Amino acid sequence: MAVYTHVEPDDLAALVARYDIGTVVSCKGIAEGVENSNFLLETTDGRFILTLYEKRVSEGDLPFFVDLLDHLAKRGCPVPAMIRDREGAAIQQVSGRAACIIQFLPGISLTHPTPGQCEAAGAALGSMHRAVADFAGARENSMGHRHWRAIAEGSGDLDAVIPGLQAIVDDELAHLDTHWPRDLPAHVVHADLFPDNVLMLGDRVTGLIDFYFAATDSRAYDVAVTHAAWTFSADGRDCNADCAAALMRGYTSEITLTSDEMAALPLLARGAALRFLLTRAHDWIHTPADALVTRKDPAPFLARLRRYQAADAARLFAAA
């Protein structure tokens, strides 16, 4: 939940007046997006999301995100396009922040997806990968595997978060450094496709949102992140085999993974689990106790890491 920056009504009216979207009817801060301030903006013409970018999204990256969403929207992906003002600009300044007015998409984020919903999410991810393959943009994945050691070292006392965590992380980093696959098919990927970031109505995906971690990485790593995000119990201990098979079935209905990619998935998933374990541990240590955001427990991602380390992990990625 997040509304860090207030927008004065006069500033809002001036912003909206730059666009052909009518005049302001209502504007309510919404509890979505950990990184930015988000508002549900209603005008006489319709509904929009107003996003003000806070510290974690670099203003220099915004043109990349605008271009990426434009590209995906043009190819029919259900992503929220950035609205352009009369002069063609998508990026504005409001209340001292970079800001965009973004298309509103219907749908609700799930918390307990069914296998049918996992299949739809997998298919939506695959469809998005097909659409993004010819996108010309690129962005270093600052949350990608090359950066995990630095994130771990910058986190502070990992053992204070979970006793023994430092040794577990050191061992895993060594293993991943040795075995991380090279030369897998790569392009811009979402890299954070948790159920929070997928809007659905029933079993239908109506929106893929929050592309602010999107970056260049292997597409199979994106599958691994999505697998870790969608198929586990809340405590991370149990992977639901039906959900996992459905997710893979949905994805592979759109994308045929190579044998190298299939073989790499358990290791990529260990990496995905480590990535969220590390960033949650970092935020656990560094989030001030009086912050507006809720710290997320890292432990369920340690549990996922353990599951993906198991000898039988490959069967979690079978499509049937």
Angle (CA) 74-75-81 rounded to 5° is: 40
Look at phi and psi of residue 8 and say left if phi exceeds 0, alpha if psi is from -120 to 50, else beta. Answer: beta
Residue 312 binds a copy of itself, judged by CB under 8 A: no
> What is the nearest approach in angstroms of a copy of itself to the Cβ of residue 12?
7
The partner residues of 186 in beta bridges, in order of sequence, read: 218
Of 17, 35, 47, 285, which one interacts with a copy of itself (CB under 8 A)?
47
Nearest CB to a copy of itself, comparing residues 13 and 89: 13
Q: How far is it, in rounded angstroms, from Cα 278 to Cα 120?
A: 29
Residues in CB range of 163: below 8 A, 6 or more apart? none
| Residue 57: other Cβ atoms inside 10 A | 19
Q: Which stretch binds a copy of itself (CB under 8 A): 108-116, 128-136, 186-194, 224-232?
A: 108-116
Sites for a copy of itself among residues 192-221 (CB under 8 A): 199-201
Work out whether 73 is an interface residue with a copy of itself (CB under 8 A): no
Contact flag: residue 54 with a copy of itself (CB under 8 A) = no
Tell me how far, at minimum, the Cβ of 310 lies from a copy of itself, in Å: 30
Q: Does 289 bind a copy of itself (CB under 8 A)?
A: yes
In the shown chain, the binding pattern of residues 3 to 32 toward a copy of itself, with x for contact by CB under 8 A and - for none, equals x--x-xx--x-----------xxxxxxxxx
* Cα separation of the two ends of the chain: 37
Q: How far apart are CA 170 and CA 183, in angstroms?
A: 25
Is residue 85 within 8 Å of 18, Cβ to Cβ?
yes
Residue numbers at the binding site for a copy of itself (CB under 8 A): 1, 3, 6, 8-9, 12, 24-32, 40, 42, 47, 104-108, 110-112, 199-201, 289-290, 292, 294
